[in-house]
Amino acid sequence: MINIAVFASGRGSNFAAIAQAVRKGDLKVKLALLVCDNPKAPVLVKARKAGVKTVLVNRADFPGKQEFEGAIIGHLSENNIDLIVLAGYMRLLSADFVKIYYGRIINIHPSLLPAFKGEAGIRDAFEYGAKITGVTVHFVDDQVDHGPIILQQEVSIKEKDTLVTLEEKIHKVEHRIYPEAIRLFGLGRLKIEGRKVRIINRKVLQR
């Protein structure tokens, strides 16, 4: 069974969905660590309640990014982490960090990448008047919300949708497809081939 570390900075609904999938036995990985960079993040409370080992690595406590990421790397090595799962981790990983873990870091983003990157993917699609948006899970490279795409699922934006109803629809999809992507990684089914990901022996996912 692989060891995963979730990185989160805020609310932690994706962390909670992953923790629940693990607890229910739907996702056979060890949720070994939560790495959080924000002392005020609600995800810290969620992790405590779920009994998940947590480290708070506050950027303000380090002179530079290199030292900050060095501390994180120490925690990852100590806990034998096989996969880093970014779940609302609102900080760009350095090229050096990505070089060490490339192919073992995944991210979720609430749009159909490459559209609507950044911190407000749901709002940006809504305000743009897009009719279709969605969710993307991808391997991480050193650019923001960028790297080989693992899973994508579309979400339609209807006339009657508000930003709130759209957010609900997006999060519901996120909470389903992120555990699925982790499951596929754990089974060794994801192969990066250049800019693309091939999913080996993929059974039909749609429920």
Phi-psi bin for 47: left (phi > 0), alpha (psi -120 to 50), beta?
alpha
Work out whether 88 is an interface residue with ligand GAR (CB under 6 A). Answer: yes
Closest CA to 107 of 151, 69, 72, 56: 151
Which CB, 74 or 174, lies closer to ligand GAR?
174
Q: 63 to each of 69, 70, 195, how far by Cα in Å?
A: 11, 11, 35
Type of residue at 100: I
| Segment lying near ligand GAR (by CB under 6 A), choices 6-14, 63-71, 97-105, 196-204 | 6-14
Closest CA to 15 of 110, 118, 88: 88
Which CB, 12 or 186, lies closer to ligand GAR?
12
Pairing of strands 83-86, 105-109: parallel
Among 6, 13, 151, 185, binds ligand GAR (CB under 6 A): 13
- Min CB(11)–ligand GAR separation in Å: 4
Binding mask 163-192 for ligand GAR (x = CB under 6 A): -----------x------------------
- Residues lying near ligand GAR in the complex (CB under 6 A): 8, 10-14, 87-88, 108-110, 119, 121, 145, 174
